Amino acid sequence: MFWAYGSYAGGRGLVLVTTVILARLLTPADFGVVALALTFMVFLDTIKDLGLGQALILASDDEVDERAQTVFGWSLIIGLALCAVTVAISPLAGSFFDSDELMPIVAVLGFNFVLRSLGATHYALASRALDFRSRTMAELADVVMRGGAGIALALLGFGAWSLVIGYLVGTAAMVVTIWLRISFRPVVRLSRRYLRQLLSFGGTLTLVDIGQAFAHELDYLFIGRVLGVGELGLYSIGFRLPELLIVNLAIVAGTVLYPAYSLMDRERLREAFLSSLRYTALLVLPMAVGLALLAEPVILTVFGDQWVEAIPVMQVLAVYAVVVTLNVPAGTVYKVTGRAWILVAFTVPYVIVLFVALSIFTADGIVAVAAVMAALQGAFAVMGWAVTCRVLRVTPLEIARSLMGPAAAAATLGLALLGVLALLSGPVVTLAAGIVVGAIAYPLGVRIFARDAAVRLIDMALPQRAERRAAPTAAQAGLARRARTGAATLRRNLSRSSAR
């Protein structure tokens, strides 16, 4: 858990730093065209290995090596095929979005499928072994190399291409690192053994991934098509901090919970669901409150005046990001209990409703799009929790109790930040004061309303701390030894007295 969240915190921090630098070197149009290209790529990315990597995580110990050989060979074939498809359809992407610059960018990004396929099996094996240290190192290598290459190329005047080339360099660095960390070495052969079994499970998850890609990327497609790449650039920056600080936590949580949940029986899974919901809320609610209330000073101070129109977008998408993250434990339960079809059953109507809503409201601007995303995600999350209650025999009251403490602590933070906003003006001063006041107010709220949950969360992240706290002190150990010695002496004396 420590290394998983270490990857999250360290990686997101580095991404934030590079994003801030690039936002001051590039224009909204640069960010918009790359965001549109990456959005286009996401739909192909959902079938990058047809779910074979996720299926490998559940393989038994005596079959894992041979199944890994099968997964590697077919993942590479799929990666090469997707690269060819991407290059072939890149002119259609440029034509659909009326952007000459988009076509070559999409074509070049297609090579990322080949690079990722080379490390996908190693990444799955690391997840299966709960080896989040290796994953952390690979992900940090990706972030460092991507950011460094992107900034260097932006300074040289490469514009949008600095983001594209940096993306490929980062993926290559991640693959090299994960190969160095994981001992698995593929053989040069294409095996069909276990392929059908792997696809039978992974295929369902691929359908889920395709549906979720539409659910999470339709807003980018509609904005790019209807409002243009400039507005999409503003929207992408407004989404950047909620994504880095909150949505990416959902990705980490899902990655950790999936192999962990798969080892549990039904009763333990029930308790784990409620606990993970509580701990996730402790982490994401303060970030959402902070981003929503301090959006203006954050945008103006961190990114600059040219991004001022992204302020209301960030405020609304902070709510969206929280709902997405809190829905992860329920989705993971469906997967490990063999009910991944429930995710498909939710995703299909969600995408249909989202498509209709965006068709109606996108013309009203990027804030309207953000509001549609937040409202629909909230409505479907409530329905998802209702189904989870039936699957795990959890009551709505138990879910409410899990969220009550973190919500009260976040409300304490919100009141403190509202006071800062009422008393101060100027983005830099307000942001600095908000950070200081928030660093005091939220821990105080947690201490009052959710202290036990916070202590357990810290103990899980830092098990050595829990062991030290549970271990007796030297004085306690000495008293215990003296008590045992005294008891033994007393028993001997009693025995001698009885003998006399």
Q: What integer is the mean pLDDT of 211-227?
A: 82
Number of C-beta neighbours around residue 87 at 10 A: 15
CA dist 145 and 149 (Å) reads 6
Highest-pLDDT range among 30-44, 139-153, 236-250, 337-351: 139-153
Predicted confidence at residue 261, as pLDDT, reads 59
Q: What integer is the mean pLDDT of 317-334?
A: 84
CA dist 6 and 221 (Å) reads 32
Check residues 131 and 484 and name the one with the higher pLDDT: 131
Q: Are 346 and 292 in contact (CB under 8 A)?
A: no
Highest-pLDDT range among 194-203, 424-433, 460-469: 424-433
pLDDT above 70 coverage of the chain, percent: 73
Give the start-to-end residue ranges of the domains of the chain: 1-193, 270-464
Check residues 249 and 94 and name the one with the higher pLDDT: 94
- Least confidently predicted of 130-139, 189-198, 262-271: 189-198
Check residues 350 and 12 and name the one with the higher pLDDT: 350
Predicted confidence at residue 298, as pLDDT, reads 93
CA dist 227 and 391 (Å) reads 42
- For the stretch 277-295, what's the b/e string if a residue is b when 16 or more beta carbons lie within 10 angstroms of its beta carbon? bbbbbbbbbbbbbbbbbbb
Q: Are 28 and 160 in contact (CB under 8 A)?
A: no
pLDDT at 19 over 70: yes
Q: Are 227 and 365 in contact (CB under 8 A)?
A: yes
Predicted confidence at residue 230, as pLDDT, reads 87
Predicted confidence at residue 442, as pLDDT, reads 94
pLDDT tens for residues 350-383?
Answer: 889 999 999 999 999 999 999 999 999 999 888 8
**What is the enclosing helix (H) or strand (E) of 254?**
helix 248-261
**What is the enclosing helix (H) or strand (E) of 123?**
helix 111-128
CA dist 358 and 487 (Å) reads 77
Q: Which region, left, alpha or beta, applies to residue 185 given φ > 0 means left and ψ of -120 to 50 means alpha?
A: beta
pLDDT at 476 over 70: no
Q: Are 324 and 250 in contact (CB under 8 A)?
A: yes
Q: Which pair of structure tokens corresponds to residue 11?
A: 């990686």
Q: What integer is the mean pLDDT of 419-439?
A: 94
Highest-pLDDT range among 91-105, 160-174, 442-456: 160-174
CA dist 392 and 293 (Å) reads 36
CA dist 372 and 361 (Å) reads 8
Q: What integer is the mean pLDDT of 248-255?
A: 64
CA dist 378 and 382 (Å) reads 6
pLDDT at 199 over 60: no
Q: Are 381 and 327 in contact (CB under 8 A)?
A: yes
pLDDT at 463 over 80: no
Amino acid in the structure at residue 314: M
pLDDT at 432 over 90: yes
Query: Which are the contacts of 479, defined by CB distance < 8 A and separation ≥ 6?
Result: none
pLDDT at 187 over 80: no
Predicted confidence at residue 2, as pLDDT, reads 47
- 290 phi, psi to nearest 5 deg: -65, -45
- Least confidently predicted of 6-15, 117-126, 410-419, 470-479: 470-479
Helix (H, G, I), strand (E, B), or coil: what is residue 339?
coil
Query: Which are the contacts of 147, defined by CB distance < 8 A and separation ≥ 6?
Result: 14, 15, 17, 18, 166, 170
Q: Where does the pLDDT of residue 410 fall: very low under 50, low under 70, confident under 90, or very high at 90 and above?
A: very high
Query: Which are the contacts of 295, defined by CB distance < 8 A and separation ≥ 6?
Result: 311, 312, 314, 315, 318
Predicted confidence at residue 361, as pLDDT, reads 96
Predicted confidence at residue 498, as pLDDT, reads 44
Check residues 17 and 52 and name the one with the higher pLDDT: 17
Q: Which of 271, 330, 278, 253 is nearest to 1 (CA)?
A: 253
Q: Are 123 and 135 in contact (CB under 8 A)?
A: yes
Degrees to nearest 5, angle at CA 300 with 31 and 241: 55
Predicted confidence at residue 247, as pLDDT, reads 80
Number of C-beta neighbours around residue 165 at 10 A: 17
- CA 88 to chain CA mean position, Å: 31
Query: Which are the contacts of 338, defined by CB distance < 8 A and separation ≥ 6?
Result: none
Predicted confidence at residue 500, as pLDDT, reads 47
Predicted confidence at residue 429, as pLDDT, reads 95
Q: What integer is the mean pLDDT of 118-136?
A: 80
Tokens 């989202």 sit at which residue? Answer: 354
Fill in the DSSP letter of residue 60. -
Check residues 254 and 213 and name the one with the higher pLDDT: 213
Q: Are 409 and 415 in contact (CB under 8 A)?
A: no
Q: Where does the pLDDT of residue 313 fall: very low under 50, low under 70, confident under 90, or very high at 90 and above?
A: very high
Check residues 168 and 467 and name the one with the higher pLDDT: 168
Q: What integer is the mean pLDDT of 437-465?
A: 77
Query: Which are the contacts of 436, defined by CB distance < 8 A and separation ≥ 6?
Result: none
Quick one: angle between helices 366-392 and 396-423, nearest 10? 150
Q: What integer is the mean pLDDT of 384-411?
A: 88
What one-character-per-residue DSSP string does 261-328 give? Answer: HTT--HHHHHHHHHHHHHHHHHHHHHHHHHHHHSHHHHIIIII-GGGGGGHHHHHHHHHHHHHHHHTH
Predicted confidence at residue 1, as pLDDT, reads 47
Using CA atoms in the order 318, 320, 326, 332, what is the torsion angle rounded to 10 degrees? -130
pLDDT at 196 over 80: no
How much of the chain is helix, strand and coil, in % rounded to 5? 85, 0, 15
pLDDT above 90 coverage of the chain, percent: 27
Predicted confidence at residue 45, as pLDDT, reads 65
Mean pLDDT of the chain: 79
pLDDT at 23 over 60: yes
pLDDT at 33 over 90: no
Max Cα-Cα span within the chain: 107
